[in-house]
């Protein structure tokens, strides 16, 4: 079963929601966040990325930065810019972007189910990043950014959400071309219906937010050790999630950029690549149409690369994903990049920035080549998670992004 739990959300006053709600902590650089806060001092970036209030050379994950985030959150509450709801509630969050919409349930999910695998993963996490976010949660006393979860679409929940969503949302605003609408669901009968419907789901799937999930689990371990009267019902046994039907979710590609030719020249690399790829020069930027097709931009030109049959594992849920094929057929044998998690020659560019950004980065001289990759489908993601496998890092870029500070879970 899948447990969902209502909670007393801390939310911006409706008229301030558009100013306060901010991107997740890991979407913007510190410099980008500082620029936003200059123009909007009410931004929740002052809580989830509070180095913006310090000099440029201040470490982003220092104790003083996290304490400042706590102080800024307390100021939002003291000034009544954010108010905690009196009743435990569920929330519906609808996002409209580029002519499409998705509506999810905002709820607390069980860390027991996360740790037992009922809530399924598809990525590894880095201990340093987990510890940093756990320290933030412990210091601030809240989970400020939701984890995006998916469930295999089924009509009962979709119809129930439609029934509960009225014409007049509690909060509505537009941010970065996304229209956000939020409804509070505090009716006892509606809450019970939602609990019952989700309890029938055998699994939920982490779409975006693996580090936030693991950090919440780490916080639970720490708080449990500190609490001699631990019962399992405390709020720290749950984590903040937004749960969407898989049919409504959209994944964009995640591109790769590389800073050198591994001690050789582009022509030499192409010569070696011919055993694994069909290759041709392209007069336009290459947006791959299949998992085994890639665009490569280097030295002012685009090339189309198609991995030949037999060079990748079509039977494996992970092995047939574009980023995995590229890693196995090009990065490892030709560039000597054995682990893209650790190799500093590789960086990643979200597909929302477009192919022109790849050209710009390579033309700047900082990078030697860029690769466009076919986006992972939601069904591929679910199959990887069902198989208990792990995708290469930075394989999925979800849009639209959820907001931090829109609904906050305070530890009580």
Transcribe 181-235 into DSSP letters: EEEEE--HHHHHHHHHHHHT-S-EEEEE-HHHHHHHHHHHHHHHHH-TT--S-SG
Where b means 16+ CB within 10 Å and e means fewer, 306-340 reads bbeeeebeeeebbbbbbbbbbbbbbbeebbebeeb
Instruction: Give the pLDDT confidence score for residue 230 in this predicted structure.
Output: 95
Cis status of the peptide bond prior to 400, with omega within 30 of 0: yes
Instruction: Give the pLDDT confidence score for residue 348 in this predicted structure.
Output: 94
Whole-angstrom distance, CA of residue 117 vs CA of residue 190: 28
Instruction: Give the pLDDT confidence score for residue 142 in this predicted structure.
Output: 97
DSSP 8-state symbol, 286 = -
| Per-residue confidence band for 60, with pLDDT thresholds at 50, 70 and 90 | confident
Cβ–Cβ under 8 Å, residues 115 and 155: no
Average pLDDT, the chain: 95
Instruction: Give the pLDDT confidence score for residue 58 in this predicted structure.
Output: 84
| Per-residue confidence band for 59, with pLDDT thresholds at 50, 70 and 90 | confident
Single out the residue of 168, 8, 187, 182 nearest to residue 93, CA to CA: 182
Single out the residue of 406, 317, 412, 369 nearest to residue 10, CA to CA: 406
| Per-residue confidence band for 166, with pLDDT thresholds at 50, 70 and 90 | confident
- Segment 69-91 mean pLDDT: 98
With a pLDDT cut of 90, the percent of the chain lying above it is 90
Checking if the pLDDT of 61 tops 90, the result is no
- Segment 211-240 mean pLDDT: 96
Checking if the pLDDT of 155 tops 90, the result is no
SS3 307: strand
Residue found by looking up tokens 């007049």 in the block: 168
Checking if the pLDDT of 99 tops 90, the result is yes
CB atoms within 10 A of CB 273: 19
**Which range, of 16-25, 51-60, 136-145, 181-190, averages the lowest pLDDT?**
51-60
| Per-residue confidence band for 26, with pLDDT thresholds at 50, 70 and 90 | confident
With a pLDDT cut of 70, the percent of the chain lying above it is 100
Q: What is the largest CA-CA distance in the chain?
A: 68
| Per-residue confidence band for 122, with pLDDT thresholds at 50, 70 and 90 | very high
Cβ–Cβ under 8 Å, residues 76 and 11: no
Alpha-helical (H) ranges within 59-104 are 63-78
Instruction: Give the pLDDT confidence score for residue 232 in this predicted structure.
Output: 93
Instruction: Give the pLDDT confidence score for residue 154 in this predicted structure.
Output: 86
Instruction: Give the pLDDT confidence score for residue 77 in this predicted structure.
Output: 98
Mind listing the pLDDT tens digit for each residue in 287-342? 999 999 999 999 999 999 999 999 998 889 999 999 999 999 999 999 999 998 88
- Segment 233-244 mean pLDDT: 97
Which pair of tokens denotes residue 19?
């100013």
Cβ–Cβ under 8 Å, residues 277 and 305: yes
Cα 127 to Cα 17, 137, 348, distances in angstroms: 33, 15, 20
Instruction: Give the pLDDT confidence score for residue 412 in this predicted structure.
Output: 85
CA angle 400, 403, 409 (to 5 degrees): 140
SS3 264: coil
Checking if the pLDDT of 23 tops 90, the result is yes
Instruction: Give the pLDDT confidence score for residue 126 in this predicted structure.
Output: 87
Residue found by looking up tokens 């972007």 in the block: 97
């Amino acid at each position: 079963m899948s447990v969902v739990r209502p909670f007393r959300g801390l939310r911006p006053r409706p008229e301030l929601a558009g100013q306060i709600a901010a991107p997740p902590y890991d979407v913007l650089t510190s410099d980008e966040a500082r620029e936003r806060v200059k123009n909007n001092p009410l931004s929740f970036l002052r809580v989830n990325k509070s180095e913006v209030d310090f000099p440029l050379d201040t470490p982003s994950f220092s104790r003083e930065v996290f304490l400042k985030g706590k102080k800024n959150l307390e100021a939002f509450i003291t000034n009544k810019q954010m108010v905690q709801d009196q009743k435990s509630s569920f929330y519906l969050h609808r996002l409209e972007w580029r002519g499409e919409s998705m509506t999810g349930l905002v709820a607390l999910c069980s860390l027991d189910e996360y740790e037992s695998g009922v809530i399924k993963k598809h990525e590894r996490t880095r201990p340093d990043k987990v510890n940093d976010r756990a320290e933030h949660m412990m210091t601030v006393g809240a989970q400020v950014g939701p984890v995006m979860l998916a469930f295999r679409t089924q009509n009962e929940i979709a119809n129930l959400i439609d029934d509960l969503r009225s014409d007049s949302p509690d909060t509505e605003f537009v941010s970065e071309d996304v229209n956000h609408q939020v409804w509070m669901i505090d009716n006892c009968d509606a809450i019970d219906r939602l609990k019952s419907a989700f309890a029938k789901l055998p699994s939920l799937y982490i779409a975006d937010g693996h580090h936030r999930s693991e950090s919440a689990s780490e916080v639970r371990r720490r708080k449990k050790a500190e609490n001699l009267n631990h019962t399992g019902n405390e709020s720290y046994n749950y984590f903040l999630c937004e749960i969407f039907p898989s049919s409504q979710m959209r994944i964009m590609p995640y591109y790769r950029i590389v800073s050198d030719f591994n001690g050789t020249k582009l022509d030499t690399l192409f010569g070696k690549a011919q055993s694994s790829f069909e290759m041709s020069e392209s007069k336009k930027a290459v947006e791959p149409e299949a998992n085994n097709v890639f665009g490569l931009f280097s030295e002012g030109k685009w090339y189309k690369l198609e991995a030949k049959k037999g060079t990748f594992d079509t039977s494996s849920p992970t092995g047939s994903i574009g980023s995995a094929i590229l890693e196995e057929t090009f990065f490892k044998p030709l560039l000597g990049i054995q682990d893209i998690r650790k190799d500093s020659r590789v960086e990643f560019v979200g597909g929302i920035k477009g192919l022109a950004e790849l050209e710009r980065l390579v033309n700047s001289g900082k990078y030697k080549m860029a690769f466009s990759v076919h986006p992972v489908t939601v069904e591929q993601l679910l199959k990887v998670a069902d198989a208990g496998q792990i995708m290469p890092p930075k394989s999925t870029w979800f849009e639209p992004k959820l907001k931090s500070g829109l609904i906050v879970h305070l530890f009580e």
